[in-house]
C-alpha cells in the first residue's frame, strides 16, 4: 500500500509540474483551477490520492504514512515556489494553507449530494486562492 500511495502522490506532483509548465506567470491560479475543477471532482479513481485516502491513511502504519508525508512535503515544496511572499516562512505557511484548502474542498465537494453546494465549495476555495486579500 505504501508503494501504491507513493506512486499516486508522485503522479499528482507530476500533474502539478505539467500545469506549472503550461501556465507560466499564473501558475498558482492555474494549478488551483485545475485541481478545483468539476472534472477533477468527478474523476474519483484518477484524482488526488490525498482527497481520496487521507482519512484512511491516518489509520495505517508508518510505511504508508511515511509515503504520504513525503508526497505532501513534495507538493508543499512545489506550491511554496509558486506563492508570492516576503519570506520563505510566509510563503511556506501560505502554500500549506492553500494545499489543505484545496484537498479539503475536494473532499467536501465529492462528499455532498447537492451539485450546487459542491460547485459552491470548489468556487469559494478557488476564489480564496486567486484573490486572497478580497473580503
Query: In angstroms, rounded to a whole number, what is the distance separating the alpha carbons of residues 13 and 15?
Result: 5
CA angle 56, 59, 65 (to 5 degrees): 85
Q: Is the pLDDT of residue 53 over 80?
A: no
- Consecutive H or E run containing 108: helix 88-111
Could you report the per-residue pLDDT of 95-118, keeping only the tens digit for each? 999 999 999 999 999 999 999 999
Could you report the per-residue pLDDT of 88-101, keeping only the tens digit for each? 999 999 999 999 99
Percentage of the chain surpassing pLDDT 70?
97
Least Cα distance to 20 among 12, 30, 33 occurs for 30
pLDDT at 12: 86
Find cell 492555474 and name the residue: 30
Buried b (16+ CB within 10 A) or exposed e, 68-102: beebbeebeebbbebbeeeeeeebbebbbebbebb
Query: In angstroms, rounded to a whole number, what is the distance separating the alpha carbons of residues 128 and 130?
Result: 6
Amino acid at each position: 500500500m505504501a508503494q501504491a500511495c507513493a506512486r499516486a502522490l508522485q503522479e499528482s506532483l507530476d500533474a502539478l509540474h505539467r500545469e506549472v509548465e503550461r501556465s507560466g506567470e499564473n501558475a498558482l491560479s492555474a494549478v488551483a483551477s485545475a485541481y478545483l475543477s468539476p472534472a477533477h471532482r468527478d474523476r474519483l479513481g484518477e484524482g488526488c490520492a490525498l482527497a481520496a485516502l487521507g482519512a484512511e491513511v491516518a489509520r495505517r502504519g508508518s510505511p504508508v504514512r511515511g509515503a504520504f508525508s513525503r508526497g505532501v512535503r513534495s507538493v508543499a515544496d512545489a506550491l511554496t515556489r509558486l506563492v508570492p511572499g516576503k519570506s520563505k516562512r510566509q510563503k511556506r505557511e501560505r502554500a500549506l494553507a492553500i494545499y489543505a484548502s484545496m484537498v479539503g474542498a475536494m473532499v467536501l465537494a465529492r462528499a455532498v449530494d447537492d451539485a450546487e453546494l459542491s460547485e459552491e465549495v470548489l468556487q469559494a476555495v478557488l476564489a480564496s486562492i486567486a484573490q486572497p486579500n478580497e473580503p
